[in-house]
């Protein structure tokens, strides 16, 4: 392993990938044999250059079809570039699609040994690592059963345990944090976090801006196969979020005038067993205290009083302590603020505990609500205790109206003084 | 158009590599050569894949890998029983041997092995699409695996057949030609399978056409009928089948105890060279995009 902290472990220069689109297989044959090339070139990726040093973590974001997956595959070496070069130092592990290539008729152990040879782990390495891999995958005695008897979660657990058995110099992750159940997801993100602590360089491609924010110190925004922006996480994400909002408002020109969005679903007592598929922690209930209790569906509830008080409840398996995030946005507009318990070191209050499940509650107060009049929307998120995994999310769950005593225009009344 | 240098590509997990598209290769037959180097470099992996391929073909059957050997053995056993024991058919004049079954077996076994290598090899890249898209491995490994899996079965059978035919061929120096012929057949199957696999990746119809060609090919060869039965003016057509020369070679050694004639070696060498040039061309034209087609 190179200990030099300043030399790049991943060097990408003018990388491009061109797909030739053929109208028919016959055209492809003609092009292959050099008779005629009737293809339409499609540049999935064009002129991408960057350097990554040891321990850096780069997030790759962009709309669908922006070339994220192509970039990752080129870096992993499964696709050949049409242009440019990639220089990599040391072991590169790609978590692209887990469990592909396992043979259903062979046992998990047998598949493990074979799949290991694909990623450069010889028989000797595998014999040494097998126990640790099997322990991490939590398959126990099932490891000697045929893979066709496994659940999809078991296959993915085994595959993840295998590819991350050896710490690489560069780790490439394509939306793969959603592996198995929550308990295993947590183990996965802990392992990735440990790699990062040890100086592993990570390339992470995700639609979850939340995860990108958590993990990455640099972000590359791809747009139509080209580099739109590359820089600090916050500045690139801010431009990207603006871009997404603009896109949304173009697609729904009349959205801002519609106020008929359904409000809260039936709030009240919820059967815990019904809300919980498997062992997921979930949000149970979220409501604003002191909201007018309008029953007419097309009239927006209005906030009374001067404080915004929100009560959120969640359930989780007993051994987990979740944390809650709340995001306040202008309806169909910009985000105003987001707060989360784990970020502020606040514990949720345990209000009930039965049959292996805990029910939690927290009350969030924005005293002296200082926004101007308008329509606002609240989104709720449930995280694990460190805020690494999103267990549940209720986007735009509560939509309410607020009439400010002040009549001047604007978005927020900042603390101020005249002199 | 700048071309990618093969030398330092792929092998995801192997240390320190460059993937680039800026170096133009200069060496003659560079693309074939690089693939063979990759094959040699990954020989342990290819061997693991080959054993795995054989095991997976017969996974779940009681006799397991034994079936790979039993199938051709039973086929040639049936030929021998029907033609030599039950009907006791005899060949005409100028044939290398008089007994029909004895004649058939010598040509059929290599032909069966050839068909098996080609049909499995030609589909190997298409079948491995999922794996190739997720692992940085040279595609040639998958072609080699399919051909080799057929070879592991064929070579011992052919050596056993050589021993069984000792009463016919007699103990002579000509028997040393058998390993050489086996080696040439292996190279021929690998090259042709690789060519077909690339074509099949571009146009799937290749696999259908191959199926037809293989079922007709046996008639355009001396496997069923001795060369002397074909009209003199049309005998050259038989050499459009790449196996014709090699089958003649096997027949010469096993039935007559004679070292194969120059024509056997010359024509086989011509086929190998022609296929290598074609393969080199196809790899050069397809390499950047091959995995996208799967």
Tens digits of per-residue pLDDT, A201-220?
888 888 777 778 878 888 88
**Burial zone of A168 (CB within 10 Å; 0-12 exposed, 13-18 middle, 19+ buried):** buried
The nearest CA of chain A is from the CA of B206 a distance in Å of: 10
Q: Residue B21 falls within a domain, yes or no?
A: no
CATH number at residue A371: 2.70.50.60
CB-based burial, A31-41: b 16+ in 10 Å, e otherwise: bbeeeeeebee
Q: Say what the pLDDT of residue A99 is.
A: 64
Can you list the pairs that B236-243 forms with residues at least 24 positions away whose Cβ atoms lie under 8 Å?
B239/B267, B241/B217, B242/B188, B242/B192, B242/B268, B242/B271, B242/B275, B243/B110, B243/B111, B243/B114, B243/B185, B243/B188, B243/B217
One domain, residues A224 and A309: no
Lowest pLDDT segment from A260-264, B86-90, B170-174: A260-264
**With 50 as the cut, is the pLDDT of residue B129 above it?**
yes
Q: Compute the average pLDDT of residues B251-274.
A: 91
Q: Are residues B143 and B124 in contact, defined by beta-carbon separation less than 8 angstroms?
A: yes
Q: Residue B190 falls within a domain, yes or no?
A: yes
Residue A250 contacts by C-beta under 8 Å, 6 or more apart in sequence?
none
**With 90 as the cut, is the pLDDT of residue B179 above it?**
yes
One domain, residues A105 and A205: yes
Instruction: Measure the CA angle with vertex A129, ends A109 and A149; round to 5°.
Output: 20
Both tokens of B182, joined, read: 């086996």
Q: Say what the pLDDT of residue B6 is.
A: 33
Q: Say what the pLDDT of residue B20 is.
A: 52
Length, in residues, of chain B = 294
The CA distance from A187 to A392, in Å, is: 18
Owning domain of residue B263: 46-293
B114 or A38, higher pLDDT: B114
Residue of chain B minimizing CA distance to A9? B16
Most trustworthy range by pLDDT among B165-169, B217-221, B232-236: B217-221
ipTM associated with this complex: 0.71
Which residues does chain A have within 8 Å of residue B132's beta carbon, measured at their own beta carbons? 78
E strand or H helix at A351: strand A349-354
Both tokens of B257, joined, read: 């105890």
Which residues does chain B have within 8 Å of residue A170's beta carbon, measured at their own beta carbons? none
Q: Residue B34 falls within a domain, yes or no?
A: no
**With 90 as the cut, is the pLDDT of residue B194 above it?**
yes
The CA distance from B163 to B179, in Å, is: 13
pTM of the prediction? 0.72
Contact yes or no for B4 and A80 at CB 8 A: yes
**pLDDT, averaged across chain A:** 79
Q: Say what the pLDDT of residue A267 is.
A: 39
Residue B259 carries which DSSP code? Answer: P
Closest listed residue to residue B196, CA positions, set B185, B208, B184, B186: B208
One domain, residues A234 and A288: no
Residue of chain A minimizing CA distance to B138? A78
Total of domains in chain A: 2
Closest listed residue to residue A95, CA positions, set A162, A159, A167, A173: A173
Confidence of residue A141 (pLDDT cuts 50, 70, 90): confident
Q: Compute the average pLDDT of residues A264-284.
A: 53
Q: Residue B181 falls within a domain, yes or no?
A: yes
Q: Are residues B149 and B203 in contact, defined by beta-carbon separation less than 8 angstroms?
A: no
Q: Say what the pLDDT of residue A272 is.
A: 46
Q: Compute the average pLDDT of residues B267-288.
A: 89
Q: Residue B40 falls within a domain, yes or no?
A: no
The nearest CA of chain B is from the CA of A111 a distance in Å of: 10
Residue B109 contacts by C-beta under 8 Å, 6 or more apart in sequence?
B72, B76, B154, B157, B158, B161
One domain, residues A135 and A198: yes
Confidence of residue B155 (pLDDT cuts 50, 70, 90): very high
One domain, residues A306 and A210: no
Q: Compute the average pLDDT of residues A275-288.
A: 71
One domain, residues A92 and A148: yes
CB atoms within 10 A of CB A356: 9
**With 50 as the cut, is the pLDDT of residue B24 above it?**
no
Residue in the structure block whose two tokens are 């051909």: B147
Residue of chain B minimizing CA distance to A35? B285
Owning domain of residue A39: 8-247
Alpha-carbon torsion A159, A161, A165, A169, what sign? Answer: positive
The nearest CA of chain B is from the CA of A218 a distance in Å of: 23
Rounded to the nearest 10 degrees, the angle between the axes of helix B177-202 and helix B243-256 is 160
One domain, residues A308 and A352: yes
A161 or A331, higher pLDDT: A161
Instruction: Measure the CA angle with vertex B112, ends B236 and B280; round to 5°.
Output: 65
Confidence of residue A299 (pLDDT cuts 50, 70, 90): low
Q: Residue A219 falls within a domain, yes or no?
A: yes
Residue B84 carries which DSSP code? Answer: I
The CA distance from B73 to B76, in Å, is: 5
Q: Are residues A30 and A36 in contact, defined by beta-carbon separation less than 8 angstroms?
A: yes
Q: Say what the pLDDT of residue B143 is.
A: 92
Confidence of residue A179 (pLDDT cuts 50, 70, 90): low
Confidence of residue B32 (pLDDT cuts 50, 70, 90): confident
Q: Compute the average pLDDT of residues B237-257.
A: 90
Find which of B2, B7, B21 to mutate to test the A interface (most A CBs within 10 Å of its CB): B21
Q: Say what the pLDDT of residue A90 is.
A: 81
CATH number at residue A172: 3.40.50.300
Q: Residue A266 falls within a domain, yes or no?
A: no
Total of domains in chain B: 1
Per cent of chain B over pLDDT 90 is 30
Q: Compute the average pLDDT of residues B260-279.
A: 92
One domain, residues A216 and A318: no
Q: Residue B18 falls within a domain, yes or no?
A: no
pLDDT digits (tens, 9 = 90+) for B33-61: 888 888 888 888 888 889 888 888 887 78
pLDDT digits (tens, 9 = 90+) for A236-256: 887 887 787 777 766 655 444
Residue in the structure block whose two tokens are 């300043």: A6
Q: Say what the pLDDT of residue B28 is.
A: 63
Q: Say what the pLDDT of residue A293 is.
A: 59
Q: Compute the average pLDDT of residues A387-406.
A: 80
Residue A142 carries which DSSP code? Answer: G
The CA distance from B269 to B271, in Å, is: 5
One domain, residues A220 and A277: no
Instruction: Measure the CA angle with vertex A36, ends A33 and A42; round to 5°.
Output: 100
**pLDDT, averaged across chain B:** 83
One domain, residues A237 and A282: no
E-assigned strands of A272-322? 282-289, 308-317
**With 60 as the cut, is the pLDDT of residue A259 above it?**
no
Which residues does chain B have within 8 Å of residue A78's beta carbon, measured at their own beta carbons? 12, 132-136, 291
The nearest CA of chain B is from the CA of A101 a distance in Å of: 6
Q: Residue A29 falls within a domain, yes or no?
A: yes
Q: Say what the pLDDT of residue A305 is.
A: 73
Contact yes or no for A106 and B56 at CB 8 A: yes
Residue of chain B minimizing CA distance to A163? B13
């Amino acid at each position: 392993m190179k200990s030099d902290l300043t030399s790049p472990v991943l060097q990408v220069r003018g990388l491009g990938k061109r797909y030739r689109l053929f109208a028919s297989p016959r055209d492809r044959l003609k092009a292959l044999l050099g008779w005629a090339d009737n293809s339409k070139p499609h540049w999935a990726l064009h002129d991408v250059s960057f350097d990554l040093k040891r321990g850096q973590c780069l997030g790759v974001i962009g709309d669908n079809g922006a070339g994220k997956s192509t970039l990752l595959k080129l870096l992993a070496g499964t696709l050949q570039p049409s242009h440019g070069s990639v220089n990599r130092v040391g072991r590169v592990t790609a978590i692209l699609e887990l469990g592909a290539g396992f043979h259903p008729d062979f046992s998990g152990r047998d598949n493990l040994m074979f799949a290991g040879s694909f990623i450069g782990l010889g028989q000797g390495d595998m014999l040494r690592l097998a126990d640790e891999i099997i322990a991490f995958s939590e398959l126990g005695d099932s490891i000697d059963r045929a893979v066709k008897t496994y659940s999809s979660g078991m296959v993915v657990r085994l595959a993840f345990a295998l590819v991350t058995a050896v710490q690489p110099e560069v780790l490439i992750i394509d939306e793969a944090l959603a592996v198995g159940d929550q308990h295993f997801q947590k183990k996965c993100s802990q392992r990735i976090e440990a790699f990062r602590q040890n100086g592993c360089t990570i390339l992470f491609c995700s639609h979850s801006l939340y995860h990108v924010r958590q993990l990455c110190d640099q972000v590359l925004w791809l747009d139509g196969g080209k580099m739109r922006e590359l820089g600090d996480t916050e500045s690139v994400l801010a431009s990207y979020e603006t871009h997404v909002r603009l896109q949304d408002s173009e697609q729904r020109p009349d959205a801002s005038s519609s106020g008929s969005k359904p409000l809260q679903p039936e709030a009240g007592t919820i059967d815990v067993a019904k809300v919980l598929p498997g062992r997921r922690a979930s949000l149970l209930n979220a409501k604003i205290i002191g909201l007018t209790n309008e029953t007419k569906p097309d009239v927006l509830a209005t906030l009374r009083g001067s404080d915004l008080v929100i009560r959120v409840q969640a359930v989780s398996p007993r051994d987990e302590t979740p944390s809650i995030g709340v995001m306040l946005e202008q309806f169909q507009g910009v985000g105003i603020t987001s707060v989360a318990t784990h970020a502020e070191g606040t514990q949720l209050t345990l209000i009930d505990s039965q049959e292996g499940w805990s029910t939690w509650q927290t009350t969030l107060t924005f005293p002296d609500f200082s926004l101007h009049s308008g329509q606002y929307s609240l989104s709720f998120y449930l995280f694990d205790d460190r805020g690494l995994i999103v267990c549940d999310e209720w986007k735009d769950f509560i939509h309410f109206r607020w009439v400010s005593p002040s009549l001047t225009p604007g978005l927020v009344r900042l603390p101020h003084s005249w002199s | 158009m700048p071309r990618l240098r093969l030398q330092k590509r792929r092998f995801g997990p192997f240390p320190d590599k460059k993937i680039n598209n800026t170096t133009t290769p200069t060496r003659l037959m560079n693309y074939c050569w690089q693939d063979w180097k990759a094959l040699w470099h990954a020989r342990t992996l290819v061997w693991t894949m080959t054993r795995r391929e054989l095991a997976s073909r017969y996974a779940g059957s009681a006799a397991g890998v034994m079936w790979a050997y039993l199938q051709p053995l039973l086929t040639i056993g049936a030929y021998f029983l029907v033609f030599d024991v039950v009907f006791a058919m005899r060949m005409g004049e100028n044939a290398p041997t008089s007994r029909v079954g004895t004649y058939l077996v010598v040509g059929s076994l290599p032909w069966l092995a050839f068909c098996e290598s080609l049909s499995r090899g030609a589909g190997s890249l298409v079948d491995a699409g999922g794996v190739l898209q997720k692992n940085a491995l040279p595609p040639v490994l998958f072609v080699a695996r399919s051909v080799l899996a057929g070879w592991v079965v064929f070579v011992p059978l052919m050596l056993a057949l050589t021993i069984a035919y000792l009463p016919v061929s007699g103990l002579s120096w000509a028997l040393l030609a058998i390993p050489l012929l086996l080696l040439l057949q292996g190279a021929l199957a690998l090259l042709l399978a690789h060519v077909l696999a690339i074509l099949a990746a571009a146009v799937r119809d290749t696999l259908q056409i191959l199926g037809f060609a293989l079922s007709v090919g046996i008639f355009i060869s001396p496997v069923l009928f001795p060369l002397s039965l074909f009209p003199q003016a049309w005998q050259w057509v038989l050499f459009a089948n790449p196996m014709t020369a090699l089958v003649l070679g096997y027949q010469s050694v096993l039935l007559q105890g004679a070292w194969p004639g120059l024509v056997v070696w010359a024509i086989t060498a011509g086929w190998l060279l022609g296929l290598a040039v074609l393969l080199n061309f196809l790899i050069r034209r397809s390499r950047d995009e091959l995995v996208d087609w799967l």
